[in-house]
Each structure stands twice: as structure tokens, then as C-alpha cells.
């Protein structure tokens, strides 16, 4: 393959992620603001401590997601680049740069709830985990590796493409480039 395939970031999808994150952060703050009132209402659960924990988790998790997505709104880099050397993912929170075709041993798919991910299986997973400088990103990559056998996952969530087209493209390029 001599040509680079570039898939841009979808600013519309990213904006929806930012807005969704803001909604969940606001919900988390509401849970933290008056957990006793929520515990005494008809909603479940009835424990104010549990409601506070849910609020904290919502604010932290969706706050981090929202900040990452907000930063991506102003990112001018292409979201995904596929070339003769490998795959460069600039769209995810665990982007580590080039994943070489020579390191890729397979392409898989995982689904977490309604979210689909392309799993890039590599011969040297620890090498790619060590490339991640962000502590949260490194923890996410380790969790992926422990659960799915690879630290590298790609989603179409913030790209100007859909999951099926992206998976077909990556599989096709993998087959073409793994033979070289």
C-alpha cells in the first residue's frame, strides 16, 4: 500500500460526547448535592451513601471523558491514519502513535453493552502499554489487556465513519500488509 488512508475526527460526534458527559456530570452533582432527599424519595437505591458514591463516580468518570472530548473538538489531526507502516490512532483516549503491521497478530471485535471496539492484537502488548505516558490511559490499556488479551482498541465513536466500514477497512489493510 503506497497511499495513506486518513479518517478525520467527527466534530459532530465529539460534540455529542461532550454534551452527554456534561449531562452526566450535572446528574452526578445533583446526586452529591442532596443525597438524603434522593434516598427518601421513591427512587432506588435508598442509601444516601450509595447515592453519593454514584455521584462521585459520575462526576469523575464523565468529567474526564468530557475533558478529553472537549480537547478533541479543537484537534486538527486526522483521527486515524492507515499506511504501509501500520495504524496511527489519534482518536481514542489511549492513543500511543504507530502500531506497526509487523507487530499486529490479529484483528478482533468486542462489544461492551452497545459499544463496539476493534481489538488490535499485538505480539508485544507490554511494549505498547509502556508507550502510554498518561496514567489513566495506561490503566485503561492494562485493563483492556487483562480482559481482552490486547491493550489496543479502536472505536468509530469520534471518527467520520461507522464501525462496520472501519472494521472492514482495517481487516483489508491488515491482510494486504501482513503478507509483505
Please say whether the beta carbons of 149 and 121 come within 8 A. yes
**pLDDT per residue as tens digits for the range 31-84:** 899 887 777 776 666 788 888 999 999 999 999 989 989 999 999 999 999 999
In a domain, 164, yes or no: yes
State how many domains the chain has. Answer: 2
Average pLDDT over residues 150-177: 94
Asked whether residue 138 is assigned to any structural domain, the reply reads: yes
Given 51, 73, 95, the domain boundary residue is 73
Which of 30, 45, 73 is the last residue before a domain boundary? 73
State residue 48's pLDDT score. 81
- For 69, phi then psi, to 5°, come to -65, -40
Domain that holds residue 21: 10-73
Domain identity same for 20 and 105: no
Same domain, 29 and 61: yes
For residues 106-113, give the mean pLDDT: 93
Q: Do 106 and 57 share a structural domain?
A: no
Predicted pLDDT of residue 144: 93
Query: Do 54 and 109 have their domain in common?
Result: no
**b/e for 130-151, b at 16 or more Cβ within 10 A?**
ebbeeeebbebbeebbeebebb
C-alpha cell at 171: 481487516
On whether both 166 and 84 belong to a single domain, the answer is yes
Asked if residue 46 and residue 92 are part of one domain, the reply reads no
Residue with cell 461532550: 18
Domain assignment of residue 4, yes or no: no
For the record, the C-alpha cell of 30 comes out as: 445533583
| Residue 5 domain-assigned (yes or no) | no
- 119 domain residue, yes or no: yes
- Helix spans in the chain (H): 11-33, 35-39, 48-73, 125-131, 135-148, 163-178
The per-residue pLDDT for range 136-154, each reduced to its tens digit, is: 889 999 999 999 999 999 9
Residues 120 and 149 grouped into a single domain? yes
Is a pLDDT exceeding 60 seen at residue 1? no
Of 73, 93, 115, the last residue of a domain is 73
Is residue 26's pLDDT more than 70? yes
Amino acid at each position: 500500500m503506497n497511499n495513506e488512508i486518513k479518517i478525520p475526527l467527527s466534530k459532530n460526534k465529539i460534540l455529542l460526547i461532550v454534551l452527554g458527559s456534561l449531562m452526566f456530570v450535572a446528574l452526578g452533582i445533583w446526586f452529591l448535592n442532596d443525597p438524603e432527599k434522593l434516598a427518601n424519595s421513591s427512587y432506588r437505591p435508598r442509601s444516601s451513601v450509595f447515592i453519593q458514591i454514584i455521584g462521585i463516580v459520575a462526576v469523575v468518570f464523565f468529567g474526564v471523558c468530557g475533558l478529553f472530548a472537549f480537547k478533541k473538538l479543537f484537534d486538527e489531526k486526522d483521527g486515524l491514519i492507515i499506511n504501509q507502516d501500520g495504524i496511527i490512532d489519534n482518536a481514542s483516549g489511549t492513543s500511543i502513535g504507530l502500531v506497526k503491521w509487523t507487530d499486529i497478530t490479529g484483528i478482533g471485535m468486542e462489544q461492551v453493552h452497545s459499544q463496539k471496539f476493534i481489538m488490535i492484537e499485538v505480539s508485544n502488548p507490554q511494549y505498547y502499554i509502556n508507550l502510554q505516558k498518561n496514567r489513566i490511559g495506561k490503566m485503561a490499556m492494562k485493563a483492556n489487556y487483562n480482559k481482552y488479551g490486547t491493550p489496543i482498541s479502536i472505536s468509530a465513536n469520534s471518527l467520520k465513519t461507522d464501525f462496520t466500514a472501519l472494521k472492514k477497512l482495517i481487516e483489508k489493510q491488515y491482510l494486504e500488509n501482513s503478507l509483505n
